Structure formats: structure tokens, C-alpha cells
Amino acid sequence: MFTKLASIIFIVFLFLTIPSNIAVAFETGSVPTAAGNITCDLHNITDPGKCPTPEEWTDGKAVVCCSENDDIAYIRGNMPLVLSNPHGGYSNPTDIPNRTESKCGSDFDTWHDRRSQEYTREVRKLINEATGKYPHVILNRLERIKLDANRSKSQGACGDSRAGLAWERFNSFIDFALAEVTNRCGKGLYTDFHTMGYNNGWIQLGYLLSSGTFFDSDNQLEDSAHINASSVRNLVNSTSATLSEVLRGVNSIGGRLNHYGFDKVFPSQKYLTPPSWDMYFNGGYNTSTNGSKNGGTIDGFQVEVYQSLINEDCDNCNREKLSRALSSSIMDFLIYFYKFNLASSYGCAAAKITPSPTPKANPTPTLTPTPSSCPLKSLGDFNCDGKINESDLNALLNSWLTGGKDLTGDGTVNESDLNKLLGNWKTN
């Protein structure tokens, strides 16, 4: 799976630096290109705590835990990120009646989010390839005409007992994952994955704010009413980050997607205000329930991707490009705004620069070192100790998305610099 030297060294680094009683699992195989539900390994799981952790998997193979009737799937993770997919299931059991507007009420829809389950799983896989860690993932395996897992129970299950039980499991699995992230890291990020048939070529990011809100200036966005109505309330209120930076700045999810080649993203650095659209999806039940709008320390957002960006007729070509950009954007966001060191045991230890020892007083005048006294600096030896190790990695992560520790000369610290540093790893 890992073909580049940097990735191999990164794996070795993880095993050397995490506690000895923890083994990082790297999943074998790849996400299938054919449409279809993920396969269940364990069945009738009612307690998500019984789902094995990645450290407990055998031979690096993920264990997919499924609820009664295999309606909901949960893959346990080991990092401060929870992904869900409510509308990408393929199961269409006859014992669950089809949802209808008369039974379900207003806000009714049965649109199947094409290939949304596949790109959710692809993002999970790519994040693992980059970090050695796994997000928690919760998938609705039922067709939306049977269960809408992004609505309240009454609207989503429409009174059916089996669909109602599946709705409960979907939400209890998310609750468990969020609680584990909170207990391990104190904070984290939740993302709900969707596709749409509207708005040709666009990616929409929903933070529970109306499209009209984005016509406000950056200063106006800092109004407490906007902050407290958003799904990133905790991030803005607990750090020095502003709401405008988080939603549409260069280091926002949208800003990073711009950086990775996707211009038609709203909100983002390129589209501060909304274009003329058929519809803007600003976040639904899941983002409202699981983000930090109503309290807690887990922030969230919804992503809506136009279906052509994960084209069904092109095997993996478009979906892979989108999934790579989105996974990289999420990792950048976690590192920049949360200051997480994704190489730590649960991916959330704060990135810290190890201070150099204070030198003893020396009465003999010393000369300023010449550049040759730090021959490895351009390779990643930031503290000039002749090694390229954890201290240098932390220094690089502490400068993520700035120009402070730029090794490649492109003006910003990003994946290219991380690969270069890891490719020059030198511990003695």
C-alpha cells in the first residue's frame, strides 16, 4: 500500500514513537470501485464498545461491525475524526415499507446520494495512508427510501420498527465515537458526507449558517449570534481563530480544497459569498446534532459534492481526485486549527517543539556558527543537532500551512515538506 520511501519511513516512525503496548494497524486491500454496501464482519452489534479497535485487528484488516439486520455499519477509529454517511446505502428490504410524504411529514426526500458511501470510505483509507490512523466511520446501509439517517427519528424512520431501530443504532454509534474522541482528545471534528444532483460541478460545505450570512463582512461574521449558530462554535470560542478564517479563510476546508485544485467550493477563499444556485445545503440534522452548535467540544460540517465529481462511469478517476483533496483538506484543518500531531498515539497530542538544552556559561567567546555547522537543515534538521527526528517533525507540524519551516521552496509547509522530512529521517 505504501510505495514511497517517505511513507515507509513514516510507518517505522509511528512504531518507534507510540507507546509499546499500541500497534498501529494498516488496512490491507482497497476500496472497491463497484457500487455496493460495505461487507459486515460482525453482526447484531448493539454495543459499539464491543467493536474491535484498529490495534485489535488481525493482519491489518478492518473489522466492520453491523447492527441488527446489518442495517448500520461502524468501523471503529483511533483519531479525533468521525465520518458519517447517511444516504449512500444500497439495501432495500421488503419488510421495511417505503417512506412516503404522507407518513413522514415535511422535509421529505428519497434521493440516493450516489457513490457517497464509496467516497466516504475512500477518504478514510487515504487518511490512514497519510497518518497511520483511522477516522471513526458510521454508514447507513439502507436505501434512503427505507431510512433517512439525516432526519429526526419520526421523519427518518416514519414509524416503522426496523427502520426506527436502525436510526437508533446509527445515532448511538455516532454518539459512542464522539464520546471516545472527547475522552481521548478533549475535542475533535465530525463530518457528514453527501452527494447532490443540483449545482453542476460545485462542492458545498455546510456549517448551519444560511447562504445570506456570507454576504456579511469578515468583521460582521464575528458577531456572537453567527458564531453560536454555527457548527464550529467551540473551535471559534475556544481558540484565537475567527469565524471567517474557519469558514472561508486560506486554511478553511474550502480554502484547502481551492489549494488542491477545486475552485468551485462554497464557502471558500475563492467564493466568499454564494453564487446563484438552485439550492444551498447548509447542514442538516446530523451536523446540528453532532457539531458544537448546541454545546460540546466536537465541531462539525456537512459536505455536499456534485455527483459528476465522483463519476460513476469512470471507475475511480474523479472520485479519487476528490477524495484525495478532501482527505488532505481535513488533515490540514485538524493540524492548523486544532494543533493536533497526527503522528501521536491517538492523533491528537499537541505538536510541540522540544526546546534545546540551555548551554552552560562559557567565559570563552564563541563565534556564530557558519551555515556549514548545520549541513542537514535544508533536509529537515531544524534544531541543527545532526539528526532528523521527532523534534524536527514537531517543529514542522507547528509551522503547518505557514512559511516557517518550508523545505521545498513553495512558500508553505504542507504534505510535500512532510514527505521530504520523513524521507530524510535520521536518528543517529
Whether 202 is in a domain gets the answer: yes
pLDDT tens, position by position, 140-194: 999 999 999 999 999 999 999 999 999 999 999 999 999 999 999 999 999 999 9
pLDDT of residue 257 exceeding 90, the answer is yes
- Residue 118 in contact with residue 148, Cβ under 8 Å? no
61 is a domain residue: yes
332 shares its domain with 215: yes
Instruction: Output the 3-class SS for 40-89.
Output: CCECCCCCHHHCCCHHHCCCCCCCCEECHHHCEEEECCCCCEEEEECCCC
Say if residue 87 is in the same domain as residue 196.
Answer: yes
- Tell me which of 318, 341, 364 is where a domain ends: 341
pTM of the model: 0.79
Rounded Cα distance, 418 and 255, in Å: 20
pLDDT digits (tens, 9 = 90+) for 306-328: 887 876 555 445 788 899 999 99
Q: Is position 112 within any domain?
A: yes
Answer whether residue 13 is part of any domain.
Answer: yes
pLDDT at 275: 87
Please choose, from the candidates 342, 413, 422, the residue with its C-alpha nearest in 3D space to the C-alpha of residue 388. 422
Sorting pLDDT into bands at 50, 70 and 90, what band is 365?
A: very low
233-260 mean pLDDT: 97
The mean of the pLDDT values for the chain is 83
Please count the structural domains in the chain.
2
Does residue 260 have a pLDDT over 70? yes
Mapped onto helix, strand or coil, the DSSP state of residue 395 is helix
Beta carbons within 8 Å of 319's beta carbon, 6+ residues apart: 115, 118, 119, 122, 309, 310, 311
Cell of 43: 453482526
**Residue 53: pLDDT above 70?**
yes
Report yes or no: 269 and 248 within 8 Å, Cβ to Cβ: yes
Question: Do 202 and 137 belong to one domain?
Answer: yes
- Closest by Cα among 83, 289, 291, 296 to 185: 296
Q: Is 120:286 a contact under the CB 8 Å cutoff? A: no
Do 375 and 335 share a structural domain? no
Which of 190, 266, 283, 305 has the alpha carbon at shortest distance from 229? 283
Q: Is the pLDDT of residue 371 over 70?
A: no
Q: Which domain holds residue 416?
A: 351-428
- The answer to whether residue 346 sits within a structural domain is no
Instruction: Give me the CATH number covering residue 128.
Output: 3.40.630.40
pLDDT confidence tier of residue 19, bands split at 50, 70 and 90: very low
In this prediction, residues 296-310 reach a mean pLDDT of 91
Q: How far is it, in rounded angstroms, from Cα 11 to Cα 41? A: 26
